[in-house]
Structure 1
Amino acid sequence: MTAAPRSIITLTAIIRLLLGWGTYFALLVAGHLLAPPVPAPLLVTALLVIIAVILICAFGVVTEAEHLANRLGDPYGSLVLTISICLIEVILIAAVLLGPGDHATIARDSVMAVSMIILNAVIGLCLMVGGLRHGALTHNRTGVSNYLVMIVVFAALAFAVPALIGAPDGAYEIWQEIPIIVVTVGAYAFFLYRQMGPQANEFTEVAPVGAVSVDASSTVGTTHPSPAEAAHQAESRRPEAAGQVESEPQGIVEILSTHRVEIILRLVLLVATVLPIVLLSHDMATLLDDGLGRLGAPVALSGVVIAMIVFLPETLTSLRAAWNGEIQRVSNLCHGAQVSTVGLTIPTVLVIGMLTDQRIVLAESPINLALLAITLLVSVIGFAGKKVTAVQGAAHIIIFVMFGLALFA
């Protein structure tokens, strides 16, 4: 049974929307008051207000994402949140590139920060939470390996290859950009097709936490029923005996048809709640740059903080999935976000660079390349096993700490 519109567009959801969009428009009106240098008390107050509003909106996004995930099932439910946030992030980067000033490294810095946050901070925390609460967790190795293969290839095209075959400044030449765009878009589209179609079952949970086989549970601490009792129990478990009609599970097409209104409303509400988060994060960049500059912190730290804020809804959703022992959903959210971020961002910025005659510098520094390589190696080794544990999560968190230290080097 589909949910009624009134149960979707609730008072709480409306308040979240009003807070998010109201704060954004208030910042637009009061923009001249927040032009650097901003007085310290006003700067701190503005940052606290923005962060508080972002947190409130983030919980709304998580709520809608979980409703959609429950309705659509994985991997479709996770894809909705992942692609929504990634598309908005790509639009923001594109807006910066199309604006005034020189932003040759904006795509590289943003995607690298997002990569280290997703692959190390978020996945590390999720493995720690899930591992400590449930022990070793079983993931769908075929699905995760598909993610990791795409991540390795996209990361190489984005950060390593331009340093080896590109111009001295780390940018691709025009004749190199065209095949890179074509193969990246083609590979990403093919991956999505396989994930949502023929290979969809490879991105579902292998063994939900708490699931116990009927045979195992019925033979521990109980006596075997007599043949007559066994026959009666078997008959009572038949769907016809309970007045039910046995049916096949709903396919995605049938779900979309049956619950079309609910799904559309939740999608609109999710995007409408995500947008203020991203827009406020973008506006907050100026305030962070000002504040961090006064503290003598590196400028790159601002980009990391913004990336963490933008992906806060996905982080919260992933942590909740880990708490529930849904490790494959964690992979769908985190690894899927990484594939989407690179697969969408790199082609987009290269096209904009070609159209606007801008240099797009993608080649990374040696230390960041080394940390990314270690991250991918740890990911491949860790998820190659049948189960993942909290120890692997600790390793990812250590790598993220090293990335943080490298920012100050």
Structure 2
Amino acid sequence: MIVRLRALPSQWTTAAPVLAVVLLVLTWGRSLPGAGVALVTLVLAGAVLAAVHHAEVIAHRVGEPLGSLVLAVAVTIIEVALIVTLMIDGGDKSATLARDTVFAAVMITCNGIVGLSLLMASLRHRVAVFNPEGTGAALATVATLATLSLVLPTFTTSKPGPEFSTSQLTFAALASLVLYGLFVATQTIRHRSYFLPLDRKGEVIDSDEHAEVPSTRTAVLSLILLALALVGVVGLAKGVSPTIESGVEAAGMPHSVVGVIIALLVLLPETIAAARAARRDRVQISLNLALGSAMASIGLTIPAVAVASIWLSGPLVLGLGATHMVLLALTVMVTTLTILPGRATPLQGGVHLVLMAAYLELAVNP
């Protein structure tokens, strides 16, 4: 990864996060006119691109796979805060918000980001190469978390409806934290080499020889600006959500489509970062971002909503419907077959993108 280290204060990547936060403060809680929505959307796009830049600076400073973890966790923490905030303000309409958002994140990351990364890398370099040991461990964790948190509530009988009882929700929350913690320790400490990119010979690439390593000061400044950019992205996405809701209702689409659109906006930084890594033939970094984001979304959201449910009066619906369970099962099966060889062609990328398209189609026309 080659990071151009010009003076940060003179870059638009410094101005965009600050402008996003300022605009967020000025527009928070207000109804926006058409021109205001257009301005917010423009600044939102700038904040997304700035977030990707600063995440790459930090990643190059701390090295992989910790660098991929920084962006995934940062986005997810703010996403979780947004979910809990909307649940508090949304009343009964928010009963399925956590489920819809988490499932959207899983589908977008495991099919959209994975498919796009594999397709780009294989078209540019003929075959996409990655480490099946680390990627397989990540997929196993995502599949377990998704099943425990999103599938089992549909079949439990302690409480009517696709909901967990208090003790079951507590178990799911603790299990999510334990599994996520174990994975992070495996990825960053005990088996770090499993999550590093591979060259064409299958050998680990531990660093980029021709890249200038950012200074500590630059990395710290990028960390601050990354946090500002992500706050701006999520906050501004929430600000334009009433406009999105109006458009969804006017089009006669289900309300859950709003969650899909918000998830697509929030996951833009990771999507762009993964695509850039795939173009550089660093597919393992792309997969770290995709599966790490899916894992963080479940592993941090479920404990957060479990705590929030203590003071939330409405129901907390976590169980998926039959259609979404089929999509989840198919995604896990296809991703397993994609990962096992450690190499992928454009076909595998296309299969994942078709699954992503199927999810979007069924979200709009259930």
TM-score by length of 1: 0.81
* Superimposed CA distance per residue, residues 155-193 of structure 1 (whole angstroms, 9 cap, x where no aligned partner): 101111111115231110012122222222111112111
Return the alpha-carbon distance in structure 1 between the equivalents of residues 338 and 228 of structure 2. Answer: 37
Secondary structure of 2:64 counterpart: coil
In 2, the alpha carbon distance for the partners of 1:119 and 1:137 equals 16
Q: Which residue of 2 aligns with 1:342?
A: 298
Tell me the alpha carbon deviations over residues 358-385 of structure 1, each in whole angstroms, 9 at most, x when there is no partner. 4211001100110111111100111111
Q: CA deviation at 1:313?
A: 0.8
Q: Which residue identity is paired with 1:294?
A: A
How many Å separate the matches in 2 of 1:289 and 1:303?
9
- Compare CA radii of gyration and give the structure with the larger one: 1
User: Counterpart amino acid of 2:38?
Assistant: L
Question: Which residue of structure 1 aligns with residue 210 of structure 2?
Answer: none
Distance (Å, rounded) in 2 between the aligned partners of 1:282 and 1:383: 35
Note the C-alpha offset of 1:100: 5.2
Change in CA separation of 1:210 and 1:60 when aligned onto 2, cut-off 3 Å:
farther
Equivalent position of 1:107 in the other structure: 98
Structure 1 counterpart of 2:48: 58
| Residue 145 of structure 1 pairs with residue 136 of structure 2 | yes
Q: Contact 1:208–1:326 at 8 Å: present in 2 too? A: no
**2:289 corresponding residue in structure 1:** 333
| Secondary structure at 1:101 match in 2 | helix
CA spacing shift, 1:46–1:373, aligned 2, 3 Å: farther
Equivalent-residue separation in structure 2 for 1:162 and 1:332 (angstroms)? 28
Q: C-alpha distance in 1, partners of 2:270/2:362? A: 25
Aligned to 2:66: 76
- Change in Cα spacing, 1:199 to 1:135, as seen in structure 2 (3 Å) is same
Aligned partner of 1:94 in structure 2 is: 84
> How far 1:259 sits from its partner (Å)?
4.7
Q: How does 1:2-401 map to 2 (within 5 A)?
A: 7-28=7-28, 31-32=30-31, 34=32, 42-43=33-34, 45-99=35-89, 101-102=91-92, 103-166=94-157, 167-207=159-199, 259-401=215-357
Paired with 2:20 and 2:176, the residues of 1 have a C-alpha distance of 34
Q: Residues 154 and 321 of structure 2 are in contact (CA less than 8 Å); yes or no, is this contact kept in structure 1? A: no
- In 1, Cα distance between the equivalents of 2:300 and 2:236? 22
| Deviations 1:222-250 (CA, angstroms, capped at 9, x unpaired) | xxxxxxxxxxxxxxxxxxxxxxxxxx99x
- The AA in structure 1 aligned to 2:250 is R
Which residue identity lines up with residue 27 of structure 1 in the other structure? Answer: T
Distance in 1 (CA, whole Å) between partners of 2:329 and 2:199 is 31
Residues 209, 326 of structure 1: 8 Å contact kept: no
One-letter amino acid of the counterpart of residue 60, structure 2? N
Instruction: Give the structure-2-normalised TM-score.
Output: 0.90
Partner AA of 1:160 in structure 2: V
Q: Is this contact kept in 2: 1:125–1:319, CA < 8 A?
A: yes
Would the aligned equivalents of 1:174 and 1:354 in 2 still touch at CA under 8 Å?
A: no
Distance 1:291 1:392 in 2: 34
- Alpha-carbon contact 1:65-1:270 (below 8 Å) kept: yes
List gaps (5 residues or longer) in structure 2. 208-212
Which letter maps to 1:90?
A: V
- After superposition, the Cα gap between the structure-2 partners of 1:356 and 1:295, relative to the gap in structure 1 and judged at 3 Å, is closer
> Aligned to 1:104, what secondary structure does the other structure show?
helix
Question: In the aligned structure 2, how far is the partner of 1:298 from the partner of 1:365?
Answer: 14
Determine the C-alpha separation between the residues in 1 that align with 2:200 and 2:306.
Answer: 42
In structure 1, what residue type is equivalent to 2:63? Answer: G
What is the CA distance between 1:270 and its match in structure 2? 0.8
Q: 1:299, 1:100 → 2: CA distance?
A: 13
Partners in 2 of 1:98 and 1:388 — Cα distance?
43
**Judging changes above 3 Å, is the alpha-carbon distance between structure 1 residues 100 and 66 closer, same or farther for their aligned structure 2 residues?**
closer
State how far apart, in whole Å, the 2-side matches of 1:331 and 1:322 are.
9
Q: Is the 8 A contact 2:97 2:259 kept in 1?
A: no
C-alpha distance after superposition, 1:291-347 (max 9, x if no partner) = 221222322222111111111111110111111111000011101111111111111
Query: Which letter maps to 1:192?
Result: V
Q: Tell me by how many angstroms 1:282 deviates.
A: 1.0
CA distance in 1, matches of 2:286, 2:201: 14
Distance in 2 (alpha carbons) for counterparts of 1:28 and 1:281:
11
1:66-104 residue CA offsets vs partner (Å, 9 max, x unmatched): 112222211011111111001100111111223352221
Residues 43-63 of structure 1: CA deviation (Å, up to 9, x unaligned)? 4x4443322211111111111
Unaligned runs of 5+ in 1: 35-41, 212-247, 250-255
